[in-house]
Structure 1
Amino acid sequence: MQSSSHLFPVALISAERRGDLIEDVYRLKPGNSLDFTVELAVTRLGRVATPDVRGVPVILLHGSFSNRRFWYSPKGIGLGAFLARAGFDVWIPEMRGHGLSARNEAFRHNRVADYARYDLPAIAAFVIEQSGQVPHWIGHSLGGTTLAAALGGHYLGHEQVASAALFGSQITRNYWPLKVPPLQWSTRLLLKRFEHVSGPRFKRGPEDEPMGIVLEAMRWHGLFGRFGDKKDDWWSGLAQVRVPVLCVAGGGDHQDPAWACRELFEQFGSIDKEFMCLGRDQGLSEDFGHVQMLVSKAAQTQVWPRIADWLNRRIHSVNAESTLNTLVTP
């Protein structure tokens, strides 16, 4: 494998022109976890008009049963394409076994803990190496939960995260049957027989999810469960997070309701943080659902510009602070 990085083996496996956009796909082999078969596909979107000009990097994390197509379609429609056209340097990873990322040997045992501890830091290191800047992060649903785990577990900090935006992500919605030990034990015993949950079969999305993700979530919501793993309490760790945070909920999202998203928002210790609910009560045209908050015609005009504005305000804030520090330095 010819490497495109000094960090670990990386190969440029595809370089295509998609209309007015350039799509480069890299395959990363970080080799930083116990499973050395892990490979991660990371797509970079740029503009044909300015192929050598790199804007501020933004990393987009898809949710469960999904892949990079959540962020941009083959026709070049999506938040990823929108941000690329707005001048951002857009990077879209696909989690283990999703999209162009091959299934690793221990696919059935993959967990958020693995994504947060191993994969996200590797992705951050690669993007920083390629762009020379600290990236902003946007995660939807499980992607946002994984980002929260990485921040709460201190696997990512201000040196890897310029800001974090979480869409439709929450931890604290209770599932009372999981609080009954005999019921949870029997359910876990049944589920352990399967390798994955089929997204297409259950009409949840185009991808399968490893059973490890399901069992991990059940443990979080169990009688004495917590958001974390055996070593780290991610929920408590969120109180020490200081990077700028945006948490967004959909007014019509019944899967991850606004009140639960707000509880996650309030747990962050960041001084610069903002909560946004997308609904009619906020002057929008509809109460946005879990997917529609980012993938819909209404989102194109009412949500995407707000995201770009959030990012630009963080960028201007950093630039102003950098200028001030330069002025006051003897």
Structure 2
Amino acid sequence: MGKTPILMLHGAMSNGRVFYSQSGRGLACFLARAGFVVYVLDTAGRGLSTPRISRGFGLGQGEVIREQLPLVQRAILEWHPDAAGVHWCGHSWGGVLMASCLARFADIRPSVSSLLTFGSKRRIKIKSLQKWLMVDLFWNRLAPGLAKGKGYLAADRLRLGMDNESRASLSQSIDWVRGPWIDHDDDFDYGVAARDVRWPPAWFIAGQGDKVLGNPADVREMLAECGMQEAKFTLLARCNGFLHDYGHANMLTHIDAERDHFPQILDWYRAG
């Protein structure tokens, strides 16, 4: 039996390129060179996925949880019939969507070999001026107005992120960051469901320099909300022996990551 395949999912205002570059940098490329088959998902309308997000694009995060992730999981298992499962890996909001899918679908859990996340938080409770500017002012107040005018949030053109956001995804993520973990389409309560989940082996990674979007305290809060008492937690910080106090994106994109924490991730996957 070969190595267990890996599925990677990006976060909000992002796409799969957070995990790879055409020049061969990134976690996906690093693991592929080590012999793993890695699948990087661009959710509908983002990255290499077509059609692109534009005015009238109606899909939100609910479709990623209920449709796209289960569909891709089934496809990978069909392509790898000898595999015992698939490792799931999410950056930022991608980790929240993956955890939501696992909380909702008991039939998918046995085929998920592990859950590894980078800077993933379900709520942003940290208080600071930077958080007020980035989240309370821009994301919660200004971004919906920009999205309403154009029909979607043109984050790439505004140089706010790697990719765009639909109005549905934007409003749904705003509500989740501020309030209950409940599906906007059918009122499924992920928070209640998560309490009874037997989670796969999980590892949550946070960066010391990630002050807002994946603040270590908020990452730990998500672990507690999910009831992942046995999950591994790592803080990428100089005080813990790492080369840098990594931030939200550069924990995956920094040139030093391949000689710093990526080898530990490789060992994690090899052990699984």
With over 3 angstroms needed to count, the CA separation of the structure-2 counterparts of 1:187 and 1:294, relative to structure 1, is: closer
Structure 2 residue runs without a partner (length 5+): 126-130
Give CA-to-partner distance per residue, 1:80-111, whole Å, 9 cap, x none: 11111112111111110112211279963322
The Cα RMSD (Å) is 2.7
Say if 2:150 is the partner of 1:150: no
| TM-score, normalised via structure 1 length | 0.70
Give CA-to-partner distance per residue, 1:130-179, whole Å, 9 cap, x none: 012210010001211111211222366323311111111101214889xx
Task: Give me the whole-angstrom Cα distance separating, in 2, the residues matched to 1:107 and 1:120.
Answer: 23
Say if 2:92 is the partner of 1:141: yes
Aligned match for 2:74, one of 122, 125, 128: 125
- Post-superposition shift, 1:112? 1.5
- Post-superposition shift, 1:193? 4.2
Aligned match for 1:251, one of 188, 193, 208: 208
1:151 and 1:237 in contact (8 A); partners too: no
Aligned match for 1:73, one of 21, 35, 39: 21
Match of 1:62 in 2: 10
- Post-superposition shift, 1:216? 0.6
| TM-score, normalised via structure 2 length | 0.84
Give CA-to-partner distance per residue, 1:169-191, whole Å, 9 cap, x none: 101214889xx9xxx79986775
Aligned match for 1:219, one of 127, 151, 175: 175
Amino acid in structure 2 at the alignment position of 1:109: G
Task: Give me the whole-angstrom Cα distance separating, in 2, the residues matched to 1:239 and 1:227.
Answer: 12
With over 3 angstroms needed to count, the CA separation of the structure-2 counterparts of 1:257 and 1:185, relative to structure 1, is: closer
Task: Give me the whole-angstrom Cα distance separating, in 2, the residues matched to 1:284 and 1:81.
Answer: 21
2:207 and 2:215 in contact (8 A); partners too: yes
Structure 1 residue runs without a partner (length 5+): 1-52, 316-330
Match of 1:97 in 2: 45
Say if 2:190 is the partner of 1:234: yes
Identity fraction in percent: 30
Q: Greater Rg, structure 1 or structure 2?
A: 1
Task: Give me the whole-angstrom Cα distance separating, in 2, the residues matched to 1:98 and 1:262.
Answer: 29
Say if 2:235 is the partner of 1:281: no
The count of corresponding residues between Structure 1 and Structure 2 is 255
